[in-house]
Amino acid sequence: MSENGALPRLGKVLTADTMNANVKKVDYAVRGPIVQRAVQIEKELKEGVKKPFEEVIKANIGDAHAMGQRPITFFRQVMALCTYPLLLDDNKFPEDVKNRARRILQSCGGNSIGAYTTSQGIDCVRHDVANYIQRRDGGIPSDPDNIYLTTGASDGIVTILKLLNTGEGRTRTGVMISIPQYPLYSASIAELGAVQVNYYLNEEKCWSLDISELQRSLQAAREHCNPSVLCIINPGNPTGQVQSRQCIEDVIQFAAKENLFLMADEVSNAFFTKGCEFHSFKKVLFEMGPEYSSKVELASFHSTSKCYMGECGFRGGYMEVINMDPEVKAQLTKLVSVRLCPPAPGQALMDLVVNSPQPGEPSHQTFMKERTAILSALAEKAKLTEQILNTVPGISCNPVQGAMYSFPRITLPERSINEAKAKGQAPDMFYCMKLLEETGICLVPGSGFGQREGTYHFRMTILPPTDKLKTLLNKLKEFHQKFTQQYS
């Protein structure tokens, strides 16, 4: 206090001017202004405000359950038993459900999912993950010591970026990321103060990845930073493409030659187009022989949130690290221990995903039926999206080969572009905002993911139920035609 006892008139400690400047640079379009407006509109509808539509259809985020997808029965039964173990005596639950629950509980401190787990994650879960990876990759060994359970995949990705983040000015870590990209990457890079190094996917060739473009991007970046890590999202988010085995091999070769740490974001592991199958970076790396498999540093990421599971709320995930320097690995283990452990229910759920019911087990049939139904519906909706959108003049949509997103290109009339710019808005934000206000459809503008200068897109999930998706696509078609007329 000042001498007369009154408090000095000081401003706030923490203001927009004094706060961490890197945090201010963070952008996260998937939950940006358009989604905030959608939430407002929902409130207005509830309060009886008249709108030209009756509900907001959210196709902005890969949130399957919110879009009506039902959870897998087996997963939820085991989780209920882990949560309230007295249900182990209830004969309405099948034996395989009980066995899985018992096994998980036995690995928890005091047999409770309420105990902290080890920082790297529950032992038996990491073993199950390693076995799963080994099966997935045709027998290429996976070591449970290389598995770290995470709080969703995002947590793992940010942790690896943290380890790599170093230097100042021209020695600052550069992180190579595809454009378009999932904005977790740009946001984390901004927060850490690292340098985002863009390489462009080839929209004309179904969002494929050209090594020559990687080379161009790397060379340009070396002028001003130290690009040391290459991030790949496969299947693509927001672009929905699936990379060929050849492309993955080329990327690995490039990383080896240029001494880049590889981060493979493989969370959106679902496939719809014939001939498009999943090749894990790990498998391809090991098939390339010891010259590569003993050298290239790789971290790959997986989660419970995508594919047929859609269990986003549990925040389950894992990462596998390959060829990580043992001292760095010890540092990684130390770093994750500061947060104590990932959520135990998410870890348990991750276990069930990698250790699902096997033929002969009582839950197998229902599990397969539920899983197949979800994946078939996704495949159907992927096709539907591509087909309907491509009938609209001014919209062109690459095939949705995997994941759960489409990223169609839209042609915007010059006048709308100018009007947007006058308002200080990205032209595709202007478009999406108008779409939301007029139809209730919530999409994310392409500018939130990055796109080639002068091109415009939006990201749309294919998750709404088929009927609603048809409505959405037809409304969108109508809107686009109207919008084009209005601004032509």
Residue with smaller CB distance to its own copies, 301 or 483 = 301
Size of the site for its own copies (CB under 8 A): 99
Residue with smaller CB distance to its own copies, 331 or 390 = 331
Q: Which residue in the set 40, 95, 114, 486 belongs to the binding site for its own copies (CB under 8 A)?
A: 114
Least distance between its own copies and beta carbon 37 (Å): 14
Write 243-251 long-range contacts (CB < 8 A, 24+): 243/208, 243/209, 243/279, 244/208, 244/279, 245/279, 245/284, 247/208, 247/209, 248/279, 248/281, 248/284, 249/284, 249/288, 250/211, 251/209, 251/211, 251/214, 251/281
Sequence letter at residue 362: P
Residues 137-166 that bind its own copies (CB under 8 A): 151-152, 154-155, 158, 162-166
Q: Which residue in the set 3, 4, 14, 360 belongs to the binding site for its own copies (CB under 8 A)?
A: 14
113 lies in the binding site for its own copies (CB under 8 A): yes
211 lies in the binding site for its own copies (CB under 8 A): no
Which of 183-191, 384-392, 413-421, 436-444 is the region at the interface with its own copies (rule: CB under 8 A)?
183-191
Residue 328, both tokens:
């760095």
Beta bridge partners of 150: 317
Least distance between its own copies and beta carbon 463 (Å): 10
Tell me how far apart the alpha carbons of residues 305 and 333 are, in angstroms, rounded to a whole number: 24
| Residue 421 CB contacts under 8 Å (≥ 6 apart), including other chains | 427
| Residue 193 CB contacts under 8 Å (≥ 6 apart), including other chains | 22, 165, 172
- Helix, strand, coil shares, percent, the chain, to 5: 50, 15, 40
Burial 188-221 (b: 16+ CB within 10 A, else e): bbbbbebbbbbbbbebeebbbbeeebbeebbeeb
118 lies in the binding site for its own copies (CB under 8 A): yes
Q: How far is CA 78 from the centre of its chain?
A: 25
Q: Which residue in the set 56, 57, 61, 410 belongs to the binding site for its own copies (CB under 8 A)?
A: 61
Cα four-point dihedral sign 262, 268, 269, 275: negative
Q: How far is CA 200 from CA 182, 190, 203, 215, 451, in A?
A: 13, 19, 9, 11, 8
Least distance between its own copies and beta carbon 169 (Å): 13
Residue with smaller CB distance to its own copies, 224 or 334 = 334
Residue with smaller CB distance to its own copies, 245 or 339 = 339
Residues 371-430 that bind its own copies (CB under 8 A): none
| Residue 305 CB contacts under 8 Å (≥ 6 apart), including other chains | 62, 152, 153, 267, 311, 312, 315, 316, 317
Tell me how far apart the alpha carbons of residues 430 and 34 are, in angstroms, rounded to a whole number: 10
Residue with smaller CB distance to its own copies, 93 or 200 = 93
Least distance between its own copies and beta carbon 444 (Å): 13
Cα four-point dihedral sign 44, 58, 410, 425: positive
Residue with smaller CB distance to its own copies, 6 or 49 = 6
Which of 47-55, 57-65, 131-139, 451-459 is the region at the interface with its own copies (rule: CB under 8 A)?
57-65
Q: Which residue in the set 191, 203, 266, 428 belongs to the binding site for its own copies (CB under 8 A)?
A: 191
Q: Which residue in the set 80, 276, 375, 377 belongs to the binding site for its own copies (CB under 8 A)?
A: 80
Query: What 3-state DSSP class applies to 301?
Result: strand
Q: Which residue in the set 10, 46, 48, 275 belongs to the binding site for its own copies (CB under 8 A)?
A: 10
Q: Which residue in the set 188, 237, 239, 363 belongs to the binding site for its own copies (CB under 8 A)?
A: 188
Tell me how far apart the alpha carbons of residues 129 and 350 are, in angstroms, rounded to a whole number: 8
Q: How far is CA 312 from CA 44, 242, 316, 405, in A?
A: 27, 22, 8, 16
Residue with smaller CB distance to its own copies, 164 or 433 = 164
Tell me how far apart the alpha carbons of residues 133 and 33 are, in angstroms, rounded to a whole number: 39
Q: Which residue in the set 48, 49, 91, 257 belongs to the binding site for its own copies (CB under 8 A)?
A: 257
Residues 84-103 that bind its own copies (CB under 8 A): 84, 87
467 lies in the binding site for its own copies (CB under 8 A): no
For tokens 């001292």, what's the residue? 327
Least distance between its own copies and beta carbon 16 (Å): 4
Q: Which residue in the set 211, 335, 368, 373 belongs to the binding site for its own copies (CB under 8 A)?
A: 335
Q: Which residue in the set 3, 4, 12, 204 belongs to the binding site for its own copies (CB under 8 A)?
A: 12
Q: Which residue in the set 38, 41, 104, 108 belongs to the binding site for its own copies (CB under 8 A)?
A: 108
Q: Which residue in the set 180, 236, 240, 345 belongs to the binding site for its own copies (CB under 8 A)?
A: 345
Tell me how far apart the alpha carbons of residues 141 and 143 are, in angstroms, rounded to a whole number: 7
Least distance between its own copies and beta carbon 94 (Å): 13
Least distance between its own copies and beta carbon 464 (Å): 11
Residues 263-322 that bind its own copies (CB under 8 A): 291-292, 295, 297, 310-315
Residue with smaller CB distance to its own copies, 51 or 65 = 65
Cα four-point dihedral sign 334, 338, 343, 344: positive
3 lies in the binding site for its own copies (CB under 8 A): no
Least distance between its own copies and beta carbon 198 (Å): 19
